[in-house]
Amino acid sequence: MRIMPVGDSMTIGSAGEHPWRCRLWQHLTATAAPAPVRFVGPHTALHDGSEAYADPTLPAEARGHLAVWGTGWQHHAPAVADAVRAHRPDTLLVSLGLIDLGFYTDPDQTAAHVHRFVAAARQADPHVRAVLLPVLPNIRAATDTAFAAQVRRFNELLAKAVADLSTPASPLLLASEPAHWEHARDTHDGTHPSSRGAHRIAAAFATALHQAWEIGGPYPHPRPAPDAPVATPLP
């Protein structure tokens, strides 16, 4: 099985971290046998080109991804076709949207880029399937009611896009948002996942894969982690 994580800074991670994509790879490797699992994509590094994963023994088959700091649906829509052709994933795991809403586009414009992304991925592989994660509210959504409304509106449009665009040949799934996501505990700065948050995002993708396609098994309950201080709100 060839899986391509697609995302922004919440997916790529920083030096010294163990991003959700790596937690998910560990889980699938432990539960998806005998099918081998490889994470693929044009990148293997963390932010700023660092290879300093929290686990330095993480193998090459756990490191592939299509995630870039500061990118959104509008950036990945024109890039995904080439990545799918080159790296031949059968499954895309997509966590995008917060940056779009914070910097680039409104909910309806962002949803239009979701449609472009799906069409481009299918142009490269008509049978590619995908799991899409709703936008997880960050500290800005907790303090800015207008931005929180944008997040809710986009998540509604994302659910509609999944329902409208899914086909038997190229199915789409909407992962469930981790229940009671708390930016004070699930992130280390109000936006980017803490160790606890990374486990919870991995669990959301693992649950969708297991329930829909019998890939892997139930994800263990995310391990508790100490509360982290919350930094200045990020857009």
Task: Give the model confidence (pLDDT) of 89-122 as tens digits.
Answer: 999 999 999 999 999 999 999 999 999 999 999 9
- Helix, strand, or coil (residue 175): coil
Q: How confident is the model at residue 46 (pLDDT cuts 50, 70, 90)?
A: very high
pLDDT at 231 over 70: no
Q: Would you say how long the chain is, in residues? A: 235
Q: Please, are residues 199 and 20 in contact by the beta-carbon 8 Å criterion?
A: yes
Arithmetic mean of pLDDT, 23-29: 95
R_g of the chain, CA atoms, integer Å: 16
Arithmetic mean of pLDDT, 160-168: 98
pTM of the shown model: 0.93
Question: Which residues, in sequence order, are bridge partners of residue 95?
Answer: 7, 133
Which CATH code fits 2-213?
Answer: 3.40.50.1110
Q: What is the reported pLDDT for 135? A: 98
pLDDT at 235 over 90: no
The residue ranges of every structural domain in the chain are 2-213
Query: Over pLDDT 90: what percentage of the chain?
Result: 90
- Helix, strand, or coil (residue 113): helix
- Please tell me the distance from the alpha carbon of residue 228 to that of residue 156, in angstroms, as a whole number: 30
Between 162 and 33, the higher pLDDT residue: 162
Lowest-pLDDT choice from 125-129, 133-137, 223-227: 223-227
Q: What is the reported pLDDT for 234? A: 34
Arithmetic mean of pLDDT, 61-71: 97
Q: Average pLDDT of the chain?
A: 92
Q: Which amino acid is at 53?
A: Y
- Please tell me the distance from the alpha carbon of residue 141 to that of residue 134, in angstroms, as a whole number: 14
Q: What is the reported pLDDT for 229? A: 38
Q: What is the reported pLDDT for 230? A: 35
Q: How confident is the model at residue 165 (pLDDT cuts 50, 70, 90)?
A: very high
pLDDT at 179 over 90: no
Torsion from C-alpha of 8, 11, 15, 16, nearest 10 degrees: 160
Q: Please, are residues 16 and 105 in contact by the beta-carbon 8 Å criterion?
A: no
Q: How confident is the model at residue 221 (pLDDT cuts 50, 70, 90)?
A: low
Lowest-pLDDT choice from 23-27, 29-33, 108-112, 225-229: 225-229
